[in-house]
Amino acid sequence: MTVNQTRWLLRSGMLSLSMVVVACSVPEPETPLSDSGGLRFASVEDVNPANIAARVGETVITVEDVRRAAADFSGNGADIEPGDDVFRDTLSALIDQRLLGLEASARGIDEEPATRQRLAAAQERILGAVLAERVMSRAVTEETVSAVYDAQSRLLPLTEEIRARHILVSTREEADEVARLLAEGEDFGALARSVSSDISTRFNGGDLGYLTRSGMVPGFAQIAFDIPEQRISAPFETEYGWHVLEVVDRRWQSHESLEDMRPNIVRFLTLKSIDDLLKALRARYPVTRVMEEHSPPSLPTASSAFENVQPAAEELGDR
């Protein structure tokens, strides 16, 4: 066994369980099973030969077993092929795992009370994981993602933005002179580059870009949003000095696209599906925490971890 294979076994928890019932060793539901002591493996006789990756004793390891194990370990197993390094390394680890499991069963280790407790715990974890995967796969679909996006988009107000440019000077007299020159036809950008004291915008003609009300100081925002498009303000004062402002454009800030929001929506639906499942199960199976004083503090619910889309979820729930 190589160092990498040993590390794989340790990290996947299989070495400590002596190759007990684990997800990467459980065949597809339609694959027949053979018994080896207390363990069950795919049958040599009944598995499609084209799907066999390795024979270990009277048992087989299938290509699907290898891909599932690679996915469990690294999250990337669906596309691997038998010639890939990942496939070969994973198969080698599964062979070692199978050998250990078969020998443990031959020695009767799987019948020992302590081992059976660990087998039951492992089986419980796997069954719970499979159930959760099925619930999540039904909850997270293109239709549900689109529905949450549409509901969220309706609930989020559009924000008005203006694109403006300004000329900043120190005194009212200077601002009046700027206003006079602009009224006589002086180019706004050229005048800004010539006299504006705002060094951050001076050399691009005073252009401030697109702004929202929340992104401006209050006095500036009030005047800026009251000016019609393509009009120039009268001089006005803020804490920074005297301004002459032109509104170049107005628009409504668009919502994030579905693709931009998709990762957050998927995460929300995933967490909500598990949270809803656990709530239903607690109602079905009464729980009494006998040693409450020794219990760890309760964790936040899954849905609370993504509160920024909760209003949309509540709207969908009312349908």
Report pLDDT digits (tens) over 80-95. Answer: 888 888 999 999 999 9
User: Which of 233, 232, 261 is CA-nearest to residue 145?
Assistant: 261
Look up the pTM and report it: 0.54
Residue listed under structure tokens 């049958």: 43
What's the confidence (pLDDT) of residue 79?
78
Distance CA 102, CA 123 (A): 18
User: Which of 316, 219, 228 is CA-nearest to residue 265?
Assistant: 316
Beta bridge partners of 62: 52
Residue 146 pLDDT greater than 80, yes or no: yes
Task: Decide which of 3.30.230.10, 3.10.50.40, 3.20.20.70, 1.20.1260.10 is the CATH code for 159-253.
Answer: 3.10.50.40
What's the confidence (pLDDT) of residue 214?
83
Distance CA 232, CA 229 (A): 9
Domain boundaries defined on the chain: 3-112, 142-153+256-286+299-317, 159-253
Distance CA 38, CA 21 (A): 9
What's the confidence (pLDDT) of residue 47?
82
What's the confidence (pLDDT) of residue 292?
66
Residue 154: count other Cβ atoms within 10 Å of its Cβ.
12
CB 244 within 8 A of CB 278: no
What's the confidence (pLDDT) of residue 23?
34
pLDDT digits (tens, 9 = 90+) for 24-40: 333 343 444 444 445 66
Tokens linked to 270: 């995933």
User: Which of 87, 61, 83 is CA-nearest to residue 8?
Assistant: 87
